[in-house]
Structure 1
Amino acid sequence: MRVLCILIVLLSTSAYSQTMAPPKIITERNGNITNHRAEGSLAVTHDVGCIELSEANNQLTPPDLYQGVASCLAQDRYDRAAALFSLAGVYGNFDAARVADKSAGQAKAVLIMTTFSAVSQDKKKRFLDEVKAISGNHEVLRKTCADIRDVGKPDYYPAYMILHGMGAFTENPHDQALVVGFDAAKVWNSLQTSYLHCPA
């Protein structure tokens, strides 16, 4: 029975890797600037809108969540924006730890820059004030951390980040894309302290 289970896992893994073809490389020109990107890099997969943190689920990727942050900022919902920003950030750090191509980890920084590129200075200030209010209030921070733990660690294949790395331009980035032996539970628990600074 154990041998049968191992064979099923191996066959399903093999079939999965065969379906993941190398991405199409897209060239975009803007004046004198030429940009090359892999199709699917930083791609949004769910249009979540300005949701409460309690409405989030662990299949939402950082591109989805940062788009949600932008929606909340447009609606002046800074509390929701800050909460979604926290979840997006911890998910981005989790993905950067599990993706083998370390150049792909820059995806999180690019997503943040894109999210705030068209946001006014006044809105940015009000957003930062909300972030400080959360981190400076133990009870609010404790609640935010509890809500994020309830959403749970990511449960998706981080294609958005894998396709952002240099490997997308030199080989099939889906081949051995994730770190072998990655301890998801350990990294997730560690990020509660190192990134979110959750109270004990």
Structure 2
Amino acid sequence: MKATLALIFTLLCTNLGASTPLGCVSLDEVSSSNNPADIFAGLTSCMDKQNYKHAAALYTMATLYGVYDARRVANEAAPQVVALLRMYALSGRPKAELNRLQAEVVELLTDNTEVCQRILKIGKPAYYPSYITEHISANSTGSLQITEGFNEQEAWQESLALVPHC
């Protein structure tokens, strides 16, 4: 069952723009060129291995990058793509596993000094959010442009304050 879910999620991530799907890695192995689809693939791998510490860090990073990317794309459907990735990554998981992940995320963000340092070292995304634009172009209408007047630094600081509370 877990192998089947992992395969389905890998295929979905590939369809949603995973260019370099990660395995179960620490944040030290994530780069600014990894998009949320790549990172959520790593989360799935960590959940399969019951490595909730790495899973929590990857969940936080993927969500942070997704929040930032949703601000970049001038389309109201952009946040839904990130929610879809998160949903696929976690669907079919037993409640006990989801509770363990949630507990690790809470612990990680309660004393967030270390995770914030790692995230700041990685930096803001260095890729075009094609996983969003490709999904929107295939499934809806509207603008697929970067938000006019987009202020990268301001959006990054706002995203950092919202997700890992850095």
Runs of 4+ with >4 A deviation: 166-171
CA RMSD, Structure 1 to Structure 2 (Å): 1.8
Matched residue type, 1:147: R
Structure-to-structure mapping, 1:6-155, within 5 angstroms: 42-136=16-110, 138=111, 141-155=112-126
TM-fit CA distance, 1:149: 0.7
**Contact 1:99 / 1:178 at 8 angstroms: preserved in 2?**
yes
Q: Give the alignment partner of residue 159 of structure 1, picking from 127, 130, 133.
A: 130
Q: Quick check: which one's helix share is greater?
A: 2
In the alignment, does 2:156 pair up with 1:197? no
- The equivalent of 2:3 in structure 1 is none
TM-fit CA distance, 1:56: 0.6
Which sections of structure 2, spanning at least 5 residues, go unmatched?
1-13
TM-fit CA distance, 1:110: 0.6
**Contact 2:21 / 2:37 at 8 angstroms: preserved in 1?**
no
**Contact 1:50 / 1:68 at 8 angstroms: preserved in 2?**
yes
TM-fit CA distance, 1:168: 5.6
2:149 match: secondary structure: coil
- The equivalent of 1:185 in structure 2 is 153
TM-score with structure 2 setting the length: 0.85
Q: Quick check: which one's strand share is greater?
A: 1
Larger radius of gyration: 1
Which sections of structure 1, spanning at least 5 residues, go unmatched?
1-39
**Contact 1:49 / 1:68 at 8 angstroms: preserved in 2?**
yes
Q: Closer, same or farther in 2 for the Cα pair 1:151/1:108, shift >3 Å?
A: same
Percent of aligned positions that are identical? 31
How many residues are matched? 153
